[in-house]
Every structure is written in C-alpha cells, then in structure tokens.
C-alpha cells in the first residue's frame, strides 16, 4: 500500500505583525504604471512563513509598505520549520497564502481535490552562486574521510524532513554513490537550531540546512558544508509561494496585488546586502547582522517564474517513492497568471 503524508490539523492562534507604513529611502520606487489602490478598503491576507533568508522578499514587502501600497493588510504568521500545519490551514481557509518549500504534501492536497496552486518562485538553486541550501556534515564525519568519499554516509544518521526536496536531493546523492535510501538512518529534527546542535555533539553525521543556519553551523564550529543542493539539483525551484482557494476563487485581484508587492520585494532583495536589507533580515530571522552579511543569500527570479521541469521531476520522484497516489498535469498545480500580471505591471 502506498503511504501518504498525513496532515496534522490543529487549531492555531495567529499572531498579528504590524506592517510599516512607508517606504525607506533608497528602496525601489513604485513604477508609474502601477496603480496603488490605497484609497480602497484594505483586503486582509494571512500568509505563512518560515523566517528563512529566502522569506526576505515577503518581509521586505511588509516592512517597506509595498503590501500596504497595494491595499493589502498582510499578517505574516510564523510556522517555524514545519509545514505540517500550513497545508491544512490553507485548505481550511485559515491562511490565504504561504511562503514554503516545494512539498509532496502540497501535491497530495491538490491531487485530493483541494484548490491550492504554486504561483511563484521563492528561491532557486543557482549553481553559479554561493551555497544557500546544503548537506552540512559534522566534523567527526568529515575527518573520517567522507569529503573525499561520500559513500561513507552508508549507515550514518542523516537529518531531513521526509517527502520534500531535502529527501529528494539525498536520494540523488545516494544514487550517485551507488547507495539506496535503505543504506542510511533517516532522522527527523524539525528546528534548525536543534539540527546544528546535533551536528555539534555528533549525534548525527549529516543534516540538511538552509541559510542563515549553514553559516551559523560553520562559524560556531558545529559542521561544514559537505554537498551543496545546487550540485545535485541545479536551477531547481526550492522555495515557492502557494495560494489557497481564498485567493484563487474569492479574491484573485488580491493575489495580483500581493504578487506586485512581492516582486517589488524581490527587486529590493536583489540589490544585495544593503544596510536596509540586512536590517530587515536580521530582525525577522533573529540573527546577528554580521552573520546575516556573512551568509549566502538565495537567488531569486526577478519575474517570479518557476522551474516547471524540476517540479515535474520532483512529482515523478514522489510517485515512485509512494508519497503520491498519482500525477498531476502542470496546470493543475501551477498557476502563472499572477506573476505574469505582476511582472507586466512593474516592468520585469
């Protein structure tokens, strides 16, 4: 029998984050061809985040007032490192959108008839850039010779969340070294700080990490980058924006407004490690600004488009692993209209 990721439906108390009212000097100006609907009644949206560096464009849009300029009252809801609660909340209409990683759980929810769609890129694995997602190894494992011989992962404890791109990339790494998933001991540790500590104390050999936690692991001496995800899945769309039925069916105009503000956040993020960008990222990740400057920042498509072939390959892997009961056509899980309309509005 095929196994499927279960959904843990829990009641949630959503905390309110108050958005900044005005843009900061030096931030990208609102293009003259974009009509800011600020005089209309504000449309409330609840958006889930993880507080990773790849969430920066969402927080930039919030802090710089880009959402407010589009007539949106956006509440950002922190879900830590787990998507278990996000998907049922989207399905139930408790959330309107989510900044999440690609996941078999989302494909499953869509396959079961729920109206969710991937709508935009939230970071892709650029092989020409620095390392923003990686397998980080503890020093004891590396000192055993694993850097030169990745096959030494056989029999080791490895940390990743099942059913997502972390496991997908590990399966690719194992196959490249003549191994199978049965050759490792998978371990689930949800919170990134706990993953870093597990590397430090040697209770695990390797863990999937994203920035700023890669830099934290390296600078604290807990571990070192072993294999970048970009070496295994070049140009793969790792992070995504997902819209739920409340936007797709009830308020598509709000979805376009959200995307205009979001892509403006991407524009500002792509300016690099400016003082303002560092300030915003340090605040929402609760990380020291100097560590933020030292960390690798995710690569973003200026137009918000997604690597659709990579998503289809990921879906095929999910079916083969038994996480999915069937395959979806591209237009069943990806809706490009919002990025298309937003990109036209802001001139991308």
Q: What would the pLDDT profile of 227-245 be if each residue is shown by its tens digit?
A: 999 999 999 999 999 999 9
Question: Does pLDDT of 39 surpass 70?
Answer: no
- Calculate mean pLDDT across residues 31-59: 78
- Of 214, 248, 234, nearest to 98 (Cα)? 248
- Calculate mean pLDDT across residues 126-143: 94
- Of 276, 300, 299, nearest to 348 (Cα)? 300
Q: How is residue 187 written in tokens?
A: 């371990």
- What CATH superfamily classification does 133-232 receive? Periplasmic binding protein-like II (3.40.190.10)
- Calculate mean pLDDT across residues 168-195: 95
- Calculate mean pLDDT across residues 9-36: 37
Question: Does pLDDT of 310 surpass 90?
Answer: yes
Tell me the pLDDT band of 181, cut-offs 50, 70 and 90: very high
Residues of the chain with pLDDT > 70, as a percent, come to 87
What is residue 13's predicted lDDT score, i.e. its pLDDT? 29
Distance CA 254, CA 247 (A): 7
Question: Does pLDDT of 18 surpass 50?
Answer: no
What is residue 27's predicted lDDT score, i.e. its pLDDT? 42
Distance CA 26, CA 296 (A): 22
> What are the distances in angstroms from CA 345 to CA 11, 117, 122, 251, 256?
38, 21, 19, 18, 10
Question: Does pLDDT of 41 surpass 90?
Answer: no
Question: Does pLDDT of 321 surpass 80?
Answer: yes
Tell me the pLDDT band of 79, cut-offs 50, 70 and 90: confident
pLDDT tens for 252-271 read 999 999 999 999 999 999 99
Contact in structure between 297 and 72 (CB atoms under 8 Å): no
Q: How is residue 164 written in tokens?
A: 């997502």
User: Distance between terminal CA atoms of the chain?
Assistant: 47
State the Cα torsion 180-319-164-311 to the nearest 10°: 120
Residue ranges of the chain that CATH labels 3.40.190.10: 43-124+236-346, 133-232
What is residue 4's predicted lDDT score, i.e. its pLDDT? 38
Cβ atoms < 10 Å from Cβ of 42: 14
pLDDT tens for 104-120 read 999 999 999 999 999 99
What is residue 295's predicted lDDT score, i.e. its pLDDT? 86
- Topology of domain 43-124+236-346 in CATH is D-Maltodextrin-Binding Protein; domain 2 (3.40.190)
């Amino acid at each position: 029998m095929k196994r499927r990721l279960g959904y843990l439906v829990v009641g949630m108390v959503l905390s309110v984050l108050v958005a900044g009212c005005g843009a900061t000097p030096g931030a990208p100006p609102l293009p003259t061809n974009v009509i800011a609907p600020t005089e209309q009644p504000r449309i409330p949206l609840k958006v889930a985040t993880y507080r990773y560096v790849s969430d920066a464009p969402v927080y930039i849009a919030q802090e710089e007032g880009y959402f407010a300029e589009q007539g949106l009252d956006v509440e950002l809801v922190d879900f830590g490192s787990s998507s278990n609660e996000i998907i049922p909340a989207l399905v139930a209409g408790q959330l309107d959108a989510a900044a999440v990683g690609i996941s078999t759980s989302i494909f499953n929810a869509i396959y079961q008839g729920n109206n969710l769609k991937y709508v935009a890129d939230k970071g892709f694995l650029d092989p020409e850039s620095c390392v923003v997602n990686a397998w980080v190894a503890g020093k004891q494992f590396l000192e055993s010779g694993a850097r030169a011989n990745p096959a030494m992962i056989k029999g080791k404890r490895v940390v990743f969340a099942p059913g997502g791109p972390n496991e997908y990339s590990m399966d690719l790494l194992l196959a490249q070294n003549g191994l199978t998933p049965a050759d490792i001991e998978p371990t689930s540790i949800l919170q990134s700080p706990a993953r870093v500590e597990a590397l430090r104390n040697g209770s695990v050999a390797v863990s999937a990490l994203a920035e700023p936690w890669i830099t934290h692991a390296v600078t604290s001496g807990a571990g070192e980058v072993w294999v970048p995800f970009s070496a295994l899945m070049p140009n793969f769309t790792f992070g995504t924006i997902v819209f739920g039925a409340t936007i797709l069916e009830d308020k598509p105009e709000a979805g376009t407004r959200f995307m205009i503000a979001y892509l403006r956040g991407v524009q500002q993020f792509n300016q690099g490690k400016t003082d303002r960008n560092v300030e915003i990222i340090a605040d929402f990740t609760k990380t020291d600004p100097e560590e933020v400057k030292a960390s690798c920042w995710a690569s973003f498509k200026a137009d918000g488009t997604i690597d659709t072939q990579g998503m289809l390959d990921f879906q095929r892997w999910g079916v083969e692993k038994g996480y999915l009961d069937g395959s979806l056509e591209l237009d069943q899980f990806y809706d490009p209209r919002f990025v298309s309309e937003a990109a036209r509005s802001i001139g991308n």
